[in-house]
Structure 1
């Protein structure tokens, strides 16, 4: 049996690219003061459980299987943190790569290759009940190699569960949906520069701003975020790379510190985390600072209790960094956790 979380440590789940007969979801712990990490339990049975999310009020974890016939799967989280499958539903398209909870009764997923966005109604216990809505994105973008069709990459609901912000890498736009009795209703489309390739999106925890990382042109876009109306307007584009960077790179993940003063994004190729300062009055980003992750292809990262944990897909490891609370700079703890192709980190709540 796995012990419960103890004082001075935090538990988290890891999703990975793996076949069903190999461990794909892991429960791990990290010591808050040192960054030392340990795997406590591993679960097999899913092909490519590449994105995970945890219910905000119930002990339920959700995973999507990034395969040709994608699925959304729910697990009941037992008292010791281990998982027991409770439901499984088709996503209606290929390669689902993101999942998020809109309130407590709706799960939203996106199919990267299929181009669909789904909303699923949930049972009282958090199990997936049925598909409430499915929307198909159509079109293409500037780059024939990466934008030959729609490629929705993430769907981020607002805190109230009224709107969902879909970053479509293939269409160079953020599509805002209004949730109407569980259905996805188009509300706004925000056009980005051709070839930007929007990937992930985050809403500021206390200010009227939002930010998106653009994979293909290696930028972060700052938005004015109108919470009540659900609308976005562009404030700024800023590079994720130093001016002299000439080699190949694709931007990856994006998160805001719990204090709301720092924003971080990952670079795959440069293999760095960039930290920006958030202007407290205007929301714009400045003073980028880069930290080497020590790994290869930092696809995903997580901010947790004053630490930043980085999942490096191609070096099979998770690295722990301490966040300086004054300036948001990162300090490598030197601790690494070996995991095969880690691509998603979520806290155990």
Structure 2
């Protein structure tokens, strides 16, 4: 049998299950499920065949009143089935994660000021009560991601901040950590080089075997590598800083860095470059140029220093999410929406949202194999995509 991978893509409230053949790098639609509201982010349970989906009828800078957490049960063939719809979260969650023990779900909220909510999970994976926090904490202006350290003892927020615009000064960014015990969050560190000005961390990922954190800076199009101690204390300054763009001097409006993932074997790290700015062309907005790539960096096995290897074209626009399979053989990037571009003969061509499939070489370099167009109805985007590791569902 071909070696298959389970991939999920969300367009609005529709979550679609795809089967990916790692050997042939093919992708086939298998099934789908309708959620009560558009999916914002999802995370698997570490040992049970469950996927936790934070949904909302809101969005960036848009208030919401429907914010349920949906628990999906994953069948042996990867097909999702609705198991439970939990009560509303207080606000839209932009990110969710499950701690390594599978006992807690943590959601990050960024509307109207930063917040985290923690829920207990029962031994069968059901969502239990929200944990009332005994200590007041500052969660920053714009927490864009929440992760739990591999130790399970510390929670980490990527507080992106906001760039200065329309006469409003910059909101500085930071990495923020919190001690985590019995679901209680205790403020610990604030990592904010130069006071957080010019520092816009969006996403982080941990090296699988070494105490290294890789951070993408959305606002500055940079990749940072931070070291941390056995006690989960992060060094105050990054050990290494690199540009994510092939030509930083040619940065266009709406050029931002995105998701970061370390290869499952730890020999390289990937960062998404996203661009979807437009200019007028005969009365229609068309793509104004920019870098829509996956930046590939080799990781020095002794120091953790990243070194640029490649910028791989995603063959789409604004890849908000991407993922590798558990063995690190295939990478798939999801562009969120269609984009009009000026083609041959000055004709305007619409490029649909898509899944771009790459084969991963031994050194981590990417070879583009194919793209699968993804229909996006008006007002809906391919907002999240993930690959669920089969071994994560083994007890």
> Residue 41 of structure 1 is aligned with which of 31, 36, 40?
31
CA spacing shift, 1:30–1:158, aligned 2, 3 Å: same
> What's the offset of the Cα at 1:237?
1.8
Aligned to 2:80: 82
> Residue 374 of structure 2 is aligned with which of 319, 323, 338?
338
Alignment of 1:280-319 (within 5 A): 280-304=301-325, 305=327, 306-315=329-338, 316-319=353-356
Q: Provide the C-alpha distance between the structure 2 equivalents of 1:332 and 1:297, rounded to a whole number of angstroms.
A: 17
> What's the offset of the Cα at 1:133?
4.3
Residue 60 in 1 paired to residue 50 in 2?
yes
> What's the offset of the Cα at 1:344?
2.1
Q: Provide the C-alpha distance between the structure 2 equivalents of 1:133 and 1:303, rounded to a whole number of angstroms.
A: 36
Over 6 Å off, 4+ runs = none
Alignment of 1:171-186 (within 5 A): 171-186=172-187
Q: Provide the C-alpha distance between the structure 2 equivalents of 1:207 and 1:337, rounded to a whole number of angstroms.
A: 37
Query: 1:316-338 deviations in whole A, cap 9, x for unaligned?
Result: 2111000111x321100024252
Q: Provide the C-alpha distance between the structure 2 equivalents of 1:173 and 1:42, rounded to a whole number of angstroms.
A: 38
Aligned to 2:259: 253
> 2:177, 2:187 within 8 Å by CA — same for their partners in 1?
yes
Query: 1:226-285 deviations in whole A, cap 9, x for unaligned?
Result: 2x3111112122111123423121111000111211100001111111001111111121
> 1:36, 1:336 within 8 Å by CA — same for their partners in 2?
no
Q: Provide the C-alpha distance between the structure 1 equivalents of 2:110 and 2:41, rounded to a whole number of angstroms.
A: 12
> What's the offset of the Cα at 1:347?
2.5
Q: Provide the C-alpha distance between the structure 1 equivalents of 2:373 and 2:43, rounded to a whole number of angstroms.
A: 21
Q: TM-score, normalised by structure 2?
A: 0.78
> 2:15, 2:34 within 8 Å by CA — same for their partners in 1?
yes
Q: Provide the C-alpha distance between the structure 1 equivalents of 2:212 and 2:321, rounded to a whole number of angstroms.
A: 22
Aligned to 1:111: 109
Alignment of 1:90-109 (within 5 A): 90-93=88-91, 95-102=92-99, 103-109=101-107
> 1:89, 1:128 within 8 Å by CA — same for their partners in 2?
no
Q: Provide the C-alpha distance between the structure 1 equivalents of 2:89 and 2:143, rounded to a whole number of angstroms.
A: 13
Aligned to 1:123: 122
Query: 1:6-28 deviations in whole A, cap 9, x for unaligned?
Result: 64211122233x2x5xxx21111
CA spacing shift, 1:138–1:8, aligned 2, 3 Å: closer
Q: CA RMSD in A?
A: 1.8
CA spacing shift, 1:11–1:224, aligned 2, 3 Å: same
Q: TM-score, normalised by structure 1?
A: 0.88
> What's the offset of the Cα at 1:219?
0.8
> Residue 149 of structure 2 is aligned with which of 142, 146, 158?
158
Q: Provide the C-alpha distance between the structure 2 equivalents of 1:85 and 1:186, rounded to a whole number of angstroms.
A: 34
> 1:196, 1:218 within 8 Å by CA — same for their partners in 2?
no
Q: Provide the C-alpha distance between the structure 1 equivalents of 2:309 and 2:243, rounded to a whole number of angstroms.
A: 9
Query: Which consecutive unaligned segments of at least 5 residues does structure 1 have?
Result: 1-5, 140-149
> 1:307, 1:321 within 8 Å by CA — same for their partners in 2?
yes
Query: 1:200-235 deviations in whole A, cap 9, x for unaligned?
Result: 110100112111111111111110022x31111121
> 1:87, 1:128 within 8 Å by CA — same for their partners in 2?
no
Aligned to 1:201: 204
> 2:15, 2:35 within 8 Å by CA — same for their partners in 1?
no
Residue 13 in 1 paired to residue 8 in 2?
yes
Q: Provide the C-alpha distance between the structure 1 equivalents of 2:132 and 2:217, rounded to a whole number of angstroms.
A: 27
